[in-house]
Amino acid sequence: MSVLIFVDQADGQVKKTAYEALAYGAKVAEMTGTTAEALVLGKVSDDLAGLGRFGVKKVHHVGNDALNNFDAQLYTKVIAEAVQQTGAKVIVLSHNNSGRAIAPRLSVRLKAAMVPAASALPDTSNGFVVKKVAFSGKAFANVSLNTDIKIISLNMNAYKAVAGEGTAEVVRPDVAAEAPKVKVTATNKVTGEIPLTEATRVVSGGRGLKGPENWKIVEDLAHALDAALACSRPVADANWRPHHEHVGQTGIAIAPNLYIAAGISGAIQHLAGVNRSKVIVVINKDAEAPFFKAADYGVVGDVFEILPNFTDEVNKLKGA
Domains, the chain, ordered by start: 2-171 (3.40.50.620), 196-318 (3.40.50.1220)
pLDDT value of residue 68: 87
Residues 155-160: what's their mean pLDDT? 90
pLDDT of residue 181: 77
Residue 258 pLDDT class (50, 70, 90 cuts): very high
Amino acid in position 102:
I
pLDDT at 191 over 70: no
The answer to whether residues 278 and 185 touch, using CB atoms and an 8 Å cutoff, is no
Higher pLDDT residue, 139 or 148? 148
The answer to whether the beta carbons of residues 35 and 58 sit under 8 Å apart is: yes
Q: Using CB atoms within 10 A of its CB, is residue 104 exposed (0-12), middle (13-18) or buried (19+)?
A: middle
Q: Which amino acid type is present at position 117? A: A
SS3 54: helix
What's the confidence (pLDDT) of residue 320?
60
Distance between CA 71 and CA 120 in Å, rounded? Answer: 28
User: Which amino acid is it at 261?
Assistant: A
pLDDT at 23: 97
Phi, psi of 87 (to 5 degrees): 70, 25
- pTM flag (> 0.85): yes
Q: What is the mean pLDDT of residues 118-123?
A: 96
**End-to-end alpha-carbon separation of the chain, Å?**
53
Q: Cα 28 to chain center, whole Å? A: 19
Three-class SS of residue 64?
Answer: coil
Per-residue pLDDT reduced to its tens digit, 194-240: 888 889 999 999 999 999 999 999 999 999 999 999 999 999 999 99
Judge whether residue 190 has pLDDT over 80.
no
Could you read off the pLDDT of 67-108 as tens digits, one per residue? 988 999 999 999 999 999 999 999 999 999 899 999 999 999
Model confidence pLDDT, tens digit, residues 269-318: 999 999 989 999 999 999 999 999 999 999 999 999 999 999 999 999 98
pLDDT score at 195: 83
What's the rounded Cα separation, in Å, for the pair 126 and 141?
16
Predicted confidence (pLDDT) per residue in 14-50, tens digit = 998 999 999 999 999 999 999 999 999 999 988 999 9
Dist. CA 51–CA 62, nearest whole Å: 15
pLDDT at 192: 63
Q: What is the pLDDT of residue 38?
A: 97
H-type helices in 87-166, by residue range?
A: 97-110
Task: Please say whether the beta carbons of 116 and 150 come within 8 A.
Answer: no
Rounded CA separation 72/115 (Å): 18
* Separation CA 291–CA 281 (nearest Å): 9
